[in-house]
């Protein structure tokens, strides 16, 4: 059994509180992955599913700003959940947090949750007062007040009210979703997403880069597109790398930047 938290509330206070609540409920020390954007969270969901191979466990993912387009929601984006094999994934729904699910054939739909409705439904069995229901429903920190609790209730088999939500099959613009400690850029592209020119090069925002299946085949100080380590099964994300140097520094790439 494992529990992984993927969250943009990643300062020591916020991460520590989330981990402490999960540990208290499940008697398991969770792993914590701090992210800065929804597309980074999406890539990390795929990587955790790959690492845990569908074993029994829980992924709690939340990137839910309250500003901009998120103001259309009463208190941030709704949450939903699905199972991949024996792994329960609970995540914020709006934005790109779940954008790679259909790309990898993981899920086409999820179960959408309405927090006030759920709290009312479980109030008697979970001994929630009306004051506690209000506090959880309108919490500024739902990753602390709601996500660990709903994960615990679902894992106990408590029936909660949900509705089916079909994931949009929107095309994801080719972007950087993560930058590793070596400066290699993890992109949203798979090998099937690119078409090589006759000379084996790929046209990118940073010029024509040669494709190599393996990093070890890239000559020193040369930039290239390679098949990276992140992904699921045989489908691996492509990376932009410079042998012996940081591609992110060389090209000035940040997470979320377009790559093609």
Torsion, Cα 209 235 41 29, to 10 degrees, reads -130
Task: For 2-166, give the CATH class.
Answer: alpha beta
Residue 152 host element (H or E): helix 147-155
Residue 6: the pLDDT is 99
Torsion, Cα 112 113 117 121, to 10 degrees, reads 100
Residue 70: the pLDDT is 45
The residue extents of the domains of the chain are: 2-166, 176-251
Q: So what's the architecture of 176-251 in CATH?
A: Beta Barrel (2.40)
For 187, the token pair is 């992109």
> pLDDT per residue over 143-168, tens digit each?
999 999 999 999 999 999 999 999 98
Residue 74: the pLDDT is 67
- pLDDT band of residue 94 (cuts 50, 70, 90) is confident
pLDDT at 71 over 90: no
User: What average pLDDT does the segment 225-251 reach?
Assistant: 98
> pLDDT per residue over 95-139, tens digit each?
899 999 999 999 999 999 999 999 999 999 999 999 999 999 999
CA distances from 50 to 35, 44, 46, 162, 219 (A): 18, 10, 6, 27, 29
Whole-structure pTM value: 0.95
């Amino acid at each position: 059994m494992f529990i992984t938290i993927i969250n943009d509330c990643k300062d020591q206070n916020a991460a520590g509180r989330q981990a402490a609540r999960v540990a208290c409920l499940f008697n398991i020390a969770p792993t914590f992955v701090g992210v800065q954007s929804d597309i980074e969270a999406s890539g990390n969901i795929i990587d955790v599913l790959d690492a845990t191979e569908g074993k029994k466990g829980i992924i709690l993912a939340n990137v839910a700003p309250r500003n901009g387009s998120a103001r259309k929601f009463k208190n941030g984006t709704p949450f939903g959940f699905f199972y991949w094999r024996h792994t329960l994934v609970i995540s914020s729904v709006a934005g790109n947090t779940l954008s790679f699910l259909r790309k990898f054939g993981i899920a086409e739909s999820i179960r959408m949750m309405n927090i006030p409705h759920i709290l009312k439904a479980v109030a008697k069995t979970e001994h929630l007062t009306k004051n506690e229901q209000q506090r959880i429903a309108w919490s500024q920190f739902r990753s602390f007040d709601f996500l660990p609790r709903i994960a615990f209730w679902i894992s106990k088999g408590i029936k909660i009210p949900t509705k089916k939500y079909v994931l949009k099959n929107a095309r994801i613009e080719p972007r950087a979703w993560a930058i590793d400690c070596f400066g290699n850029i993890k992109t949203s592209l798979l090998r099937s997403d690119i078409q090589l020119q006759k000379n084996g090069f790929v046209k990118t925002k940073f010029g024509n880069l040669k494709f190599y299946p393996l990093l070890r085949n890239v000559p020193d100080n040369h930039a290239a597109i390679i098949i990276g380590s992140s992904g699921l099964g045989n489908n691996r994300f492509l990376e932009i790398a410079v042998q012996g140097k940081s591609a992110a520094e060389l090209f000035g790439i940040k997470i979320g930047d377009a790559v093609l």
